[in-house]
Each structure stands twice: as C-alpha cells, then as structure tokens.
Amino acid sequence: MHKLYTFGRMKQLFNAIAEDIKANSFVDGFSIDSRSLNKGDLFFCIKGEKTDGHFYIAEAIDRGASGIVANPKFIPDNLLKQKFPRIFVSDPNLAFSEWASDYRKQFKGKVIAITGSNGKTTTKDIITNLCRFFDPITSSTPGNYNNKIGVPITILNADLEAKWWIVEIGTNQFGEISHLSEIVKPTAGIITNIGESHLEFLKTTEGVAHEKSGLFDGMTCGNNVVIPDSIMHKEIIKNKARNLGLKVTKTKKISVELSSGKTKFRLLDKDFETSIKSPLLLQNLVLALTILNLEGVPVSDLVSATSVLEFTVKGRFNQIILENWILIDDTYNANPSSFNSVLENLNRMYPDRRKIVVCGAMAELGILSNNCHLQVGGNMVKNGISYLFGLGESEIYSYIKGWINEGGNKKAAKQFVALKELVASFKEVLKKDDVVLVKGSRSSRMEEFVEAILSKNY
C-alpha cells in the first residue's frame, strides 16, 4: 500500500467530499480501531455488531490519525465544527470494502480462497505454510479474519510483491460469501466441506451449500475449484461451478501408514511424508496439495514442502500425551459435521482403547439444534464412546437423550453446569490408556477444561 494511494485518489475512489486534507499526501496505513491506531493511519469509522467507529473519532485524532473516513450525520456536533482531516462518505463500511476491492486489482499473483463449514482456517494455514516454502512473503488471512470486515483487512494488508495470497472466507447469512468473493476475486478456490454450520441463518444444509458456492461468484471462467469427493450436496456445488465455467476437481480419502513418527501417503502419483497425524488435518492437506498442483506447482516441490511442514494448532485435534492417557484438544469450535467426523476418526484411530467425550454445546443451529445434538449423542455410542460428560444446559440433555436412544449406558452419560464438578467426576472414571476427546463451540469455552487438566488443577 505504501505510496500507492493519495488522499486525492481516495476521494475519487469513494466519490466523496474531503475537507482539510492535502490531495497529494499519501496514505501510509489504516485503522478501524482507535486503540491500536498508529500515528499517520487513516481511520475508518466502521460500524460493527457491538459498536460504531464514529464514537471514537476524538480518540483517533488524539492518537495522530492522518484522516477520518466517516458519515457526517454520525459525527458529534462538537467535533463536526472542529478542523481535522476528513473524508465524508455515506457508508464507511462500504468505502472500506471498495478500497480493498480496488487494491486487489493491483495484485498480479494468484489468490486462493477457502470456505467451508469447518476446516477453513486449518486448510488456509496449511496452504500458507506450503506456499511460504516457495515464497516467504506469501500473504494470508490472519487468524480467522474471514468476515465482511476481516476480509478487507486481509486484502489491504497483503503484499503486492508476493506470488500468493491465501484468503479465508466465512459467512453467517445468505449472500455474504458472494459479496466477499467479488472483493477477493479468487483465481482458485477450495470448499472444505458442507455441514450444519450457521443453520440459525442458513436454515438447511442445502442453504449452506448454496451459500458456500457463492465463492465462485468472484472467479473467472477456467479457474480451478477443489472439493472433497465426500462433500454433501455435491450437485449443488458442481452445477454452480459448471454454470460459471469453473473446473472442479474432487479429492478422495488417502491411505496412510505411520513410520518413524511420520505419516506416509501417496498422492498425485508420488510418495509424501509429513509430521501431521490427525486424519482431519490430512484431509485438509490433500485439498491444499491438489489445488497447488493444479495452479502449477510441481509435485516434486510439493513433496519437499510437505516433508518439512510443521503444523499443530491449539484446539484442533491436538493430541496431548498425559502420563498414561491421551487428551485430544478439539475445542476450537464444533458443529455436527465436524463433531461426527472427529468421532469417526477417533474410533478408527483407537479401536481398542476406551474413549471418553467431554463436550459443550454446538451453537448457531437454530430450530435444528435439538435434533443435531440428539444425532451427535447417538453417534458417540455408534463410535464406541464409553463415557459422555457434558457441560451446559438443554443441549447437553439432548446429547444424553440421543446417547440413550442409541442404547448407551444411562449411568455413563452425565450433565454438569459447573466446571469444578465436571472435572471431579471425570477424575473418578479416568483410567490408564484412556483417550479423551474435548470438544464444543467457542461459546461453550471447553478449553477451560483442558486448561484445568493441564495445570493439574483437578
């Protein structure tokens, strides 16, 4: 962004009115949060779910903002009468997106966009690490900045000299992915899966599939899309891609073998080796390798990059060896498809060991919440879980009801409303060689159970 935009150009881009700003001076940085604003940043008065940047104009000026992008109707009268550099627009959020869209047009490299019900962030991180093997300045979505504010931030912070931009795109309402794709203009895309995510807004898994397919709306005829062969509502996705002239490649599950602490598998007619052991992360790795190969990276280079790939993510199927049992921290988030997939992989990985689930509720499922929790509770029994410990209220009752309906031992499924009681009861049943899965949506804060166990605070 350095020396790319003048305030005069910004005024033209937004078709805006500017006051007390030198048209030829350059925009060196930006901020949407007055608390982290650096001197010289252009401050956008973004309206979020909980606050509005117009409330913090005075603070931004005090911290040395080079200008304010705001709607004059929402600037306090006492400030409006003062002199400070400002650009008046009707919608600062829209202006911010328009700037990101214009900045994207300056980039000549490849942009891989990732969406899906779960696995977006891990797939994005895996691709980023692989790309940085070839191009250390590869730009990528920080954390999970994948919404209508986070995506423009990602784009505007990306390096125009990089060869690759890796962008994660999320949603919680119809049309959001399509809108963000039009900003990102992906040259290639991945849909990791379709599941029961954000059903509070998207209503059905068919609705999820239509929304995730919005990823294609910013793409160009001939671009590559990769999906797993097992993806739900495959035809919805393929039809949308076909109508836009996109090329869809399906990946299948790989056969793996463990040797000397490494996972070995065959893909693209070559032998690969990686330190990744989680079945879910391996699926994400296959998606990443497939799209990179389609985008021109030689298989031999991908083999080399994969061999040195170090990838562990807190809260994502992180296996922790504790004395004589295994704790699997999968607390980053949860929805029915991810929960069921983890249960199936757990059963496959540890068929002969006793397995315990410690879980919280799955959020944002709307009217389907009860049925989804019932189904996951039943799947715990089907996948050989011996004990269910739930922390929460009505959703936990539904887990347990599903557990009992599937023939699970009533006495082995317990509900708690306090962490302390949960930990104490868990300690009483824990035995040598047990495998314990901890999972729940972010709002259930199941990481607190993991922290209590790791701190020996039980």
The answer as to whether 427 is a domain residue is: yes
Angle at 189 between CA 272 and CA 201, to 5 degrees: 120
Enter the tokens of residue 224.
């590559």
| pLDDT classification of 318: cutoffs 50, 70, 90 | confident
Question: Which position has the higher pLDDT, 278 or 189?
Answer: 189
Indicate whether 278 and 197 sit together in one domain: yes
CA atoms of 458 and 449, how far apart (whole Å): 10
pLDDT at 328: 93
CATH classification of the domain holding 80: 3.40.1390.10
Q: Lowest-pLDDT range, 1-15, 76-90, 110-124?
A: 1-15
pLDDT at 281: 87
Convert the chain into a string of H (helix), E (strand) and C (coil).
CCCCCEHHHHHHHHCCEEECCCCCCECCCEECCCCCCCCCCEEECCECCCCEHHHHHHHHHHCCCCEEEECHHHCCHHHHCCCCCEEECCCHHHHHHHHHHHHHCCCCCEEEEEECCCCHHHHHHHHHHHHHHHCCCCEECCCCCCCCCHHHHHHHHCCCCCCEEEEECCCCCCCHHHHHHHHHCCCEEEECCCCCCCHHHHCCHHHHHHHHHHHHHHCCCCCEEEEECCCCCHHHHHHHHHHCCCEEEEECCCCEEEECCEEEEEECCEEEEECCCCHHHHHHHHHHHHHHHHCCCCHHHHHHHHHCCCCCCCCCCEEEEECCEEEEEECCCCCHHHHHHHHHHHHHHCCCCCEEEEECCCCCCHHHHHHHHHHHHHHHHHCCEEEEEEECCHHHHHHHHHHHHCCCCHHHEEEECCHHHHHHHHHHHCCCCCEEEEECCHHHCCHHHHHHHHCCCC
Whether residue 331 is predicted with pLDDT greater than 60 in this model: the reply is yes
User: Which residue range is the domain that position 73 belongs to?
Assistant: 7-91
Whether residue 2 is predicted with pLDDT greater than 70 in this model: the reply is no
CATH classification of the domain holding 183: 3.40.1190.10
**Mean pLDDT (whole number) for 164-192:** 95
pLDDT at 278: 80
The answer as to whether 184 is a domain residue is: yes
Indicate whether 129 and 199 sit together in one domain: yes
Indicate whether 120 and 215 sit together in one domain: yes
CA atoms of 80 and 58, how far apart (whole Å): 11
Whether residue 1 is predicted with pLDDT greater than 60 in this model: the reply is no
The answer as to whether 374 is a domain residue is: yes
Indicate whether 218 and 130 sit together in one domain: yes
Which of 255, 279, 307 is the last residue before a domain boundary? 307
Q: Lowest-pLDDT range, 77-81, 121-125, 261-265?
A: 77-81
What pTM does this model have?
0.81
Which of 43, 59, 91 is the last residue before a domain boundary? 91
Whether residue 290 is predicted with pLDDT greater than 80 in this model: the reply is yes
Is the separation of the CB atoms in 338 and 198 below 8 Å? no
Counting residues of the chain whose pLDDT is more than 70, the rounded percentage is 97
Question: Using one digit for the tens of pLDDT, what is the confidence trace for 32-68?
Answer: 999 999 999 999 999 988 889 999 999 999 999 999 9
Indicate whether 295 and 179 sit together in one domain: yes
pLDDT at 200: 67
CA atoms of 47 and 32, how far apart (whole Å): 9
Question: Using one digit for the tens of pLDDT, what is the confidence trace for 425-441?
Answer: 999 999 999 999 999 99
pLDDT at 457: 55
The answer as to whether 99 is a domain residue is: no
Indicate whether 376 and 286 sit together in one domain: no
pLDDT at 235: 95
pLDDT at 4: 84
pLDDT at 98: 97
Indicate whether 50 and 150 sit together in one domain: no
Indicate whether 297 and 421 sit together in one domain: no
Enter the tokens of residue 140.
């990528």
Question: Which position has the higher pLDDT, 303 or 172?
Answer: 303
Indicate whether 336 and 447 sit together in one domain: yes
Question: Using one digit for the tens of pLDDT, what is the confidence trace for 356-368?
Answer: 999 999 988 888 8
The answer as to whether 257 is a domain residue is: yes
Query: Judging by DSSP bridges, how do beta strands 86-88 and 17-19 pair with one another?
Result: antiparallel
Indicate whether 177 and 136 sit together in one domain: yes
The answer as to whether 369 is a domain residue is: yes
pLDDT at 119: 87
Indicate whether 146 and 247 sit together in one domain: yes
Question: Using one digit for the tens of pLDDT, what is the confidence trace for 213-228?
Answer: 999 999 999 999 999 9
The answer as to whether 100 is a domain residue is: no
Average pLDDT across the chain, whole number: 92
Which of 257, 274, 307 is the last residue before a domain boundary? 307
The answer as to whether 447 is a domain residue is: yes
Instruction: Report how many domains make up the chain.
Output: 3
CATH classification of the domain holding 444: 3.90.190.20
Indicate whether 128 and 276 sit together in one domain: yes
CA atoms of 98 and 82, how far apart (whole Å): 28
